[in-house]
Amino acid sequence: MSILTVGTAPGDYATLAAAVAAAANGDTVALPAGVYTNQTATVGTDITIAGVGGVAYLNQTLPVPDAMGILVVNAPGTVTIQGVAFSGAATSNANGANAAGIRYQSGTLVLNQDAFWGNQNGILATPLSAGTGSISIANSTVTDNGVSDPTLTAGYGYTHNLYIGDVAQFSLTGSAVTAANVGHEVKSRAVATTVANSTIADGPTGTASYSIDTPNGGAVSITGSTIQQGPQSQNDIIISNGEEGVTHPGALAVTGNTIVNNDANPGSLAVVNDGAAASVTGNLVAGLPAGQIDHNAADTVSNNTISATAPALGVQVGVDGVTLASGAAVANTALVSTAGPGFSALSAAGTPGMTLAISATGVAGHTARFVLSQTGFTGSQATASFFDTSTGLAGAVVTWSVYADAGDTGFATTTLLGSRSFVDPGGGLLVSAAQGFTLPFTQSGAYALTEVVTIAGVPEPMSFVLLAAAVAGVAMARRRRARAGQR
C-alpha cells in the first residue's frame, strides 16, 4: 500500500486524476489542504482519497467534463473519502443539469468529514446493478445543492442535496444536510436506509421539498435526529415513505427525533407512509397537532411529545458533527445573520455542519466563502480559517477581521479580536487553520467576521455576524418558491 501525493514536490502527481489513475487497490491519494480547481477523476480501484493537514477543496468552475461529477466512483470494493470538500459541479440542460460532487456507480463508498455545497447534486448515486452497493456518510456537511433556475428544466426540481438510488444500504450519521434548492434534502431508494444523529433542516428560507424521502420503501430507520421543514418548503410533508410504489421489503421507524414544522400550511404532516405499517414513537414534534403526526391509521403512533409552537430552529452541531442536546449546545452553536456591522446584507448566508461555511457576494461581484473550522475548537475558543472562491483576482489584498460586540450593543461598539491579510494568487485563496488565528469565544457573545478585498486600490467589503461560539449556522439565502422535485 502506497501514498500518492498530489502536489509539486519531486515524486508528486501533478493532478488528482493522475494520482487516481496510478493508484492500486489499498493505496491512499493524499491531497494537501488547499484549493484544487477543475480537477476531476474517475475512481476504479479500492483506494482512499484524503485531505491532509486540513480540508482539500475540489472547486469546479467549469462544467464537469463527463457531465456526471467531480468524482465518479466505479470501483468493485471500497472507496473512502475523508476531509474533502466538493463545490460547483454543474453540467448543461442538454446533459441533464444534474452534475454531482460525487457520482456513485458501484462498490462501497465511505465518506467521513466531507462537505458538499453549490453542486447540482451533492451526491448522485445511480448503481449500475440495482440493489447492490453501499454508501455511508458520517460527520459531513451537505448544503445548498440543487437546481433552482427554472430555465434548467432537466434539473429544476429533480436534483437534491442527497439522491441515493437503488443501492443495498445507505446510512447517514452525525451529519448536517440543509437548504436543498427546490429538491429534497435526503432522497433514498436504498433497500435499507438509516438516518441517525443528524440534522436535516431547510432553515428559515430554504426551498427544499421533502426533508426525507424514501419513495420505494424498504427498511427505513430515522433516529435521534433534528428534522426541520422551513416556511419556504415546496411540500407540506416532512417525511415521505413509499409514495412511488413499495419495491423493497421492510418498514419505516421514526424514533426519538425532534421534528420541527415551520411551514404555515394548515395541512402539514410529519409523516406520510404508503408502505408497510410504520412506527412513529418517542419523538418531540413542534408546530403540528397530534392528528398531523402521521396520516396512516395502521401505523403505531405513540409516546410523542407535542409542542404547539414551532420554534425558529437554531441548529446545534458539536465539534464532531453530531447534533447535541439543546442544553449542551450553547457553546457550540452559531446563528448567522444576513449583515455585519456597518455593511450591507449578504446575498447568501450560512449552513449548519462540521464547519460554518457562508457564501457572500460583494458590491463589485466578487464572491467568497468563509469557513470557521472545528480544528482546535473548545467550549471557549475556535480556530478561524477562510476560503476565498473568487477567480481572476491575482494580486488582490484580502483582509479578514473578527470583532466582538462589546456589551451587546448591536455592534455599535466592537472589539477587534484578530485580523490577517493575504495576497490572493488568483483562482481562490485558502487560509488554513495554521495560518489563521485562534479566537476566544464566550457562550453568550456576538461576533462579526468582515472581509475587505482591495482590488486595484479599491476596497470591497463584506460581512456577516456570528452569535455565540461558532461551528454551525442556519441563516440561508431566500430562493423562489416553485414546484416540488419528485423524481
Please determine, for residue 329, whether its predicted confidence score (pLDDT) is greater than 50: no
As a whole number of angstroms, the distance between CA 253 and CA 278 comes to: 6
Evaluate if pTM is beyond 0.95: no
Please determine, for residue 69, whether its predicted confidence score (pLDDT) is greater than 90: yes
Mean of the per-residue pLDDT values of the chain: 75
Mean pLDDT on 186-208: 87
- Looking at residue 412, its pLDDT comes to 57
Which band of pLDDT confidence, cut at 50, 70 and 90, is reported for residue 445? low
- Looking at residue 258, its pLDDT comes to 84
The residue among 477, 455, 469, 398 whose CA lies nearest residue 430 is: 398
From residue 353, how far is each of 176, 262, 338 by CA, in Å? 5, 20, 18
Task: Looking at mean pLDDT, say which of 139-148, 387-396, 413-422 comes out highest.
Answer: 139-148
Least confident of 151-155, 191-195, 436-440: 436-440
The residue among 387, 385, 386 whose CA lies nearest residue 36 is: 387
* Percent of the chain predicted with pLDDT > 70: 63
Least confident of 67-81, 90-104, 166-180, 326-340: 326-340
* Percent of the chain predicted with pLDDT > 90: 45
- Looking at residue 293, its pLDDT comes to 96
